[in-house]
């Protein structure tokens, strides 16, 4: 090949592919951490590695540097056994994090999510040990009965303490600080691992994967997912706080949902090291004259920047369930915005039907923090 290029009589027009697009180490190195991997590469050729193990380590390292959802840190999730006699469903329903108010949430998710699906989904649930109560198990059983097969795990919360310092410029309205976000994301990641174990064991991917928090009340029903063919990833069009993206419910292809549910890795390895002080990625709190971030902003950067996706918007509206059967109403900047949040957000699509419905409830109150509204359902 080199001889052909060097033979000028062929009159070949030659241009080298830039090294920052197709990259290889090209030199001897001691540790993979010594390699300077350009962020812009499109292809990686592993060389200067002696033996299969050394080459595999180089491949894994480059992937971890460039892929926002490269889960090279073990989740520690327990592997589940494939149920004999059960075929894998086409849809996976993933629930993770704390179980709260299951008497309301179980009924709502069955009616407004599961019963809208073209078939019974496979259920994957990962929850902290403190959620394993007789009350929660009673209502979780109702959800399992509506599913094709279910895999549920309760485990103690665990987090690498060094990540608790990843809180610079975090919006003060995150009640449990960065710890609460990290615990939710770790639980989500472990739920993802359970789903991936099933796919690996069966040798096939789910056609559609749905993830949601288990403490939501749905004001209406999920649309027919068979009609959702324009995008790889879908989210509701409300609660885009600080002009981020709704982060309590999402659905999409298995591959894209692998990335979305690995947001813990993306945050700790990519987003926080690069962007937590980048004013172009943060939201300006005009009242405090400070640029801030929240989980929704992290998700937005993952979807638009890390994955290069345009999300589709769902008509589905929900709110977090709180004490005594009260539920937080959906937020739209145009309707509920203030000097901090602003009155405009391109991610919002106001649902007039649900807006009228929230106004129709007799029992309405501000939440205990004074900045939001709740209705008794």
Query: Among 280, 301, 317, where does a domain finish?
Result: 317
Average pLDDT, the chain: 90
pLDDT value of position 342? 85
In a domain, 374, yes or no: no
Between the alpha carbon of residue 138 and those of residues 106, 131, 132, 133, 200, the distances in Å are: 10, 12, 10, 9, 30
3-state secondary structure the chain: CHHHHHCHHHCCCCCCCCCCCEECCCCCCCCHHHCCCCCCCCEECCCCCCCHHHHHHHHHHHHHHHCCCCCCCCCCCCCCCCCCCCCCCCEEEEEECCCCCHHHHHHHHHHHCHHHCCCCCEEEEEEEHHHCCHHHHHHHHHHHHCCCEEEEEEECCCCCHHHHHCCCCECCCCCCHHHHHHHHHHHHHHHHHHHHHHHHHHCCCCCEEEEECCCEEECCCCCCHHHCCCCCEEEECCCCHHHCCCCCEEEECHHHHHHHCCHHHHHHHHHHHHHCCCCCCCEEECCCCEEEECHHHHHHHHHHHHCCCCCEEECCCEEEECHHHEEECCCCHHHHCCCCCCCCCCCCCCCHHHHHHHHHCCCEEECCCCCCEEEEC
- Neighbour tally for 283: CB within 10 Å: 22
Between the alpha carbon of residue 313 and those of residues 214, 217, 276, the distances in Å are: 20, 18, 27
Residues 45 and 127 in one domain: no
Residues 32 and 126 in one domain: no
Residues 24 and 142 in one domain: no
Residues 48 and 98 in one domain: no
Tens-digit pLDDT profile for residues 310-364: 999 999 999 999 988 999 999 999 998 887 788 999 999 999 999 999 999 999 9
The yes-or-no verdict on residue 74 having pLDDT over 90 is: no
In a domain, 119, yes or no: yes
Q: Tokens at residue 11, please?
A: 């009159």
Residues 117 and 242 in one domain: yes
Query: Among 66, 83, 100, where does a domain finish?
Result: 66
Mean pLDDT, rounded, for 363-371 = 79
In a domain, 289, yes or no: yes
Residues 171 and 30 in one domain: no
In a domain, 373, yes or no: no
Q: How far apart are CA 138 and CA 160, in angstroms?
A: 32
Instruction: Count the domains in the chain.
Output: 2
Which residue did the predictor score with more confidence, 276 or 74?
276
pLDDT value of position 294? 95
* Domain carrying residue 42: 16-66
pTM of the model: 0.81
Task: Give percent of the chain with pLDDT exceeding 90.
Answer: 69
Edge-first strand order for the sheet with 91-96 is 149-155, 122-128, 91-96, 208-212, 249-252, 233-236, 312-314
6: confidence class by pLDDT, cuts 50, 70, 90: confident
The CATH code of the domain that includes 174 is 3.90.550
pLDDT value of position 71? 42
In a domain, 201, yes or no: yes
In a domain, 21, yes or no: yes
The yes-or-no verdict on residue 274 having pLDDT over 70 is: yes
Mean pLDDT, rounded, for 198-220 = 97
Strand-pair partners of 314? 236
Q: Tokens at residue 134, please?
A: 């007789």
């Amino acid at each position: 090949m080199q001889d052909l290029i060097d033979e000028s009589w062929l009159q070949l027009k030659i241009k080298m592919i830039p090294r920052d697009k197709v990259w290889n180490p090209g030199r001897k190195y001691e540790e993979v951490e010594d390699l300077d991997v350009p962020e812009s590469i499109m292809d990686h050729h592993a060389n200067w590695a002696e033996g299969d193990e050394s080459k595999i380590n180089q491949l894994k390292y480059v992937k971890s540097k460039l892929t926002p959802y490269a889960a090279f840190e073990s989740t520690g999730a327990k592997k589940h056994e494939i149920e004999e006699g059960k075929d894998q469903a086409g849809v996976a329903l993933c629930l993770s994090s704390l179980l709260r108010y299951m008497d309301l949430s179980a009924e709502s998710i069955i009616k407004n999510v599961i019963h809208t699906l073209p078939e019974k989904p496979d259920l994957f649930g990962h929850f902290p040990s403190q959620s394993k109560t007789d009350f929660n198990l009673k209502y979780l059983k109702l959800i399992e009965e509506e599913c094709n097969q279910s895999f549920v795990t309760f485990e103690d919360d665990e987090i690498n303490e060094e990540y608790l310092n990843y809180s610079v410029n975090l919006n003060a309205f995150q009640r449990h600080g960065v710890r609460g976000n990290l615990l939710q994301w770790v639980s989500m990641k472990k739920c993802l691992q359970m789903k991936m174990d099933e796919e690996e064991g069966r040798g096939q991917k789910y056609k559609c994967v749905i993830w949601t928090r288990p403490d939501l009340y749905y004001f209406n029903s999920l649309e027919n997912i068979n009609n959702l063919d324009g995008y790889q990833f879908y989210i509701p069009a409300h609660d885009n706080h600080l002009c981020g993206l709704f982060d309590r419910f999402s659905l999409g292809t298995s591959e894209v949902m692998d990335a979305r549910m690995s947001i813990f890795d993306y945050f700790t390895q990519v987003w926080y090291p690069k962007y937590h002080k980048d004013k172009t990625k943060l939201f300006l709190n005009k009242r405090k004259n400070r640029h801030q971030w929240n989980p929704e902003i992290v998700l937005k950067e993952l979807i638009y920047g890390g994955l290069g996706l345009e999300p589709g918007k769902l008509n589905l509206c929900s709110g977090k369930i709180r004490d005594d059967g009260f539920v937080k109403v959906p937020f739209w900047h145009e309707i509920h915005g203030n000097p901090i949040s602003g009155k405009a957000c391109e991610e919002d699509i106001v649902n007039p039907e649900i807006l009228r419905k929230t106004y129709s409830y007799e029992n309405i109150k501000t939440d205990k923090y004074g900045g939001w509204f709740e209705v008794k359902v």
